[in-house]
Amino acid sequence: MIIAQRKSIKEILEMLEGYKKILILGCRACVTVCCAGGQKEVEVMGSIIRIDRKKRNKAVETIERVIDRQCDAIYFSMVDNLIQESEVVLSLACGVGVNMLAETYPKKLILPALNTGFMGITEEQGVWSERCIGCGDCILGKTAGLCPLARCPKGLLNGPCLGSNNGKCEVFPENDCVWYLIYKRLKGLNQLDKLKAIIPPKDWAKGQPPRKIIREDIRL
């Protein structure tokens, strides 16, 4: 899923300064799972904005809603009237949702409440980490299902750097070296030979924005 994190309250309040009717719009997809932009976070955000304005004797009206997805315009119909009526939409979706809102409502100001991080996993409650950079040309078949592009800070494709020692990463010593994990897994699978094949330079033409996938077979 996409992992995101709320911006600082200070930054959010500064962005909203002067607006009196604010729609706070959450998303039930990834950002709900990573506790950044679901129902609960939308309600908390509404309270924070109202308390701030009350403290400063400034008027504000907040409307709080959560829709199934913000990355698909079809779900905006549920809140279309509210978007039209509000002065500004504070989106608690990932950056994709903010873009979708901005493209759908060209005359409406859309502001992001989150910083979008990465595609990752839940390691434990409150801990998420990156697992895929969406490079467009998956090499996991060669690396025992573990991605060096996402997990090695240098994105090395042919093995560890000089600093990898005792299975730990030189740059982030609290992390396991992904090349050590790949080695261990391949050894366990009796496929250590796979480690010896040289992986050629990456074709970044497939991994750079702006990207688009067109599936003619399912287009209407």
Partner 1 sequence: MKTALSKGQFVVTAEFYPPKEANKNEVEKRALVLKDVVEAVVVRDNPLAEVHMSPLATTTILLNKGLKPIMHIGIRDKNRLAIQSDILGAVTLGVKAFFCLEDCHQRVGDNPGAKGVFDLDCVQLISIMKKIEHSLVGTRINPFAHPLELHLVNLSKKINAGVDFIQTMPVFDLERFKEFISLIKGENLYLLAGVRPIKSWQALQSMSQMVIPENIVQRIKNTPENKQAEEGIKICVEIIKALKQIKGVNGIHIFAHDWEEAVPILVRQANLK
Nearer to partner 1, 120 or 148 (CB): 148
Q: Where are the beta strands (DSSP E) in 92-158?
A: 109-112, 114-124, 127-132
Is residue 139 near partner 1 by the rule CB under 8 A?
no
- Among candidate residues 62, 76, 15, 67, the one with its CA nearest the CA of residue 38: 67
What SS3 class is residue 198? coil
Is residue 205 near partner 1 by the rule CB under 8 A?
no
Among 20, 119, 202, 207, binds partner 1 (CB under 8 A): 202
**In the complex, least distance from residue 187 CB atom to partner 1, rounded to whole angstroms:** 9
Is residue 130 near partner 1 by the rule CB under 8 A?
no
Is residue 213 near partner 1 by the rule CB under 8 A?
no
Is residue 133 near partner 1 by the rule CB under 8 A?
no
Nearer to partner 1, 61 or 170 (CB): 170
Binding site for partner 1 (CB under 8 A): 153-167, 170-171, 179-180, 183, 192, 195-196, 198, 200-202, 204
